[in-house]
Amino acid sequence: MPQLESFIEVPSGSDFSIHNLPYGIFSTPDTAPRAGVAIGEYIVDLSVLEQVGLLPIKDTPVFNQSTLNEFIAQGPIHWQAVRAAVQNLLIAENPRLREDAALRAQVLVPQNQAQMHLPVEIRGYTDFYSSKEHAFNVGCMFRGADNALMPNWSELPVAYNGRASSVVISGTDIVRPSGQIMPTGATRPVFGPSQKLDFELEMGFIVGRKTSLSEPVPVEIAADYVFGMVLLNDWSARDLQQWEYVPLGPFNGKSFGTSISPWIVPMAALAPFQCPAVTQEPKPLAYLQEPQRHTYDIQLQAAFVVEGQETVVCESNFKYLYWSMAQQLAHHTVSGCNLQVGDLMGTGTISGPTPLSRGSLLELNWNMSQAVHLSGGETRYFINDGDTIVMRGFCEKEGIRVGFGEVRGTVQAALDFPTLAAL
């Protein structure tokens, strides 16, 4: 992998090297939301580069916008052209931006002076269930090892349609949801705040091309429909979900909040970190068979932050997933369901083969049978009010690091019932 150097200093261990250049939407006190890419501790303002003619323009300017949807809709060839142009402007050998102090002052925005926003308008959100280890763990708890996986799990990428309106950017507080809970031994449910609030360590990918109604995406070309990836925490109220999910699946137990990281890492930046995918048995049906089956070596972690002390409670990896993004898209559209640019697809909880790689508290505490120990001596089974959950992810090889930054959220107390009734 060829090493590139930027004239912008990138701190050691930074997720945002010149090999990455993830896309996001940011604003400052003096500017409206617009598009940028991250490098080191800076954001490169793409709207300025576009305005001064240093970026290729396909049809009309697209970066002085509050979302990336119009840029993404221009397609893979233009994604590649813009990425190449930005990377070329930032390399140490190119004097164009390096030697123009006035332009640099307009283009380079310190990240600590910017506010990040949702990078895309998300019209649809689908959450898959693609980790075999996660599905097996959960199945073991509730059905036993012999019946852990449902008969269809190894035949298709199981999923449900989530709530796009409650997808929020990292840093947004999550209010503890309330709903119906069936207490053990009771004959009727009660109403109240969730007592089993959980995180789910996931990743998501952003759909980059729209399709027409009834137009399936063949698995052979499905990768061309993926713009990039984000970290994703699909918060889960296990007690609400356990009562409501039969027969139609998750609803209030999931719809109250899904957090994503602000930076979309393009697939071109992840390409050097491809690795073999897990073997699938039985062999999938023909429409899900990939000509070249691979995945990505993305190291993941989830941590609690309680009273300023951080404890990593999970370390997993994207490569553990059983169903690939291409298979997920192919199955999603085989019925004729159409895609929109900016649609978000979640992987489902990403668990691995070891106890530390279990990607949710439900697995880490094994259905309330073992506590999770935190720094400072505290323990948790599920998330308390005031707790912050932080997730991180990165790829690293041959001295090159490409990362996603982080997605974090702090849980706030549930609204009380009189407040709910008055809304």
CA proximity to 302, closest of 293, 294, 290, 314: 314
Instruction: Confirm if 145 and 360 have CB atoms less than 8 A apart.
Output: no
Q: What is the pTM of this model?
A: 0.97
The two structure tokens encoding residue 10? 């990138």
pLDDT digits (tens, 9 = 90+) for 195-237: 999 999 999 999 999 999 999 999 999 999 999 999 999 999 9
The average confidence (pLDDT) of the chain is: 97
Q: Which class does domain 125-422 fall in?
A: alpha beta
Residue 388 Cα to chain centre, angstroms: 17
The two structure tokens encoding residue 355? 């106890």
pLDDT recorded at residue 423: 55
134 noted as active-site residue: yes
- Which residues does residue 204 pair with via DSSP β-bridges, in sequence order? 230, 346
pLDDT recorded at residue 382: 98
Specify the pairing of strand 167-169 against strand 258-260: parallel
The two structure tokens encoding residue 138? 């959960």
pLDDT recorded at residue 422: 61
pLDDT digits (tens, 9 = 90+) for 119-147: 999 999 999 999 999 999 999 999 999 99
Please give the CATH superfamily to which domain 23-117 belongs: Fumarylacetoacetase, N-terminal domain (2.30.30.230)
pLDDT (average), residues 54-67: 95
The two structure tokens encoding residue 287? 């429409």
In whole angstroms, give the CA distance from residue 217 to residue 223. 10
Q: Is the pLDDT of residue 69 over 60?
A: yes
pLDDT (average), residues 182-192: 96
pLDDT recorded at residue 417: 74
User: Over the range 51-74, which residues count as b (16 or more CB within 10 Å of their CB) and which as e?
Assistant: eeebbeeeeeebbbbebbbbbbbb
pLDDT (average), residues 96-109: 98
pLDDT recorded at residue 334: 98
| Domain chopping of the chain, boundaries | 23-117, 125-422
pLDDT recorded at residue 50: 98
CA distances from 330 to 40, 235, 333, 394 (A): 36, 26, 5, 26
pLDDT digits (tens, 9 = 90+) for 240-278: 999 999 999 999 999 999 999 999 999 999 999 999 999
Task: Identify the band that residue 421 occupies on the pLDDT scale cut at 50, 70 and 90.
Answer: low
Point out the catalytic residue in the list 134, 294, 331, 332.
134
Q: Is the pLDDT of residue 419 over 80?
A: no
- Give residue for tokens 């507080």: 173
Specify the pairing of strand 174-175 against strand 400-412: parallel
In whole angstroms, give the CA distance from residue 219 to residue 230. 21
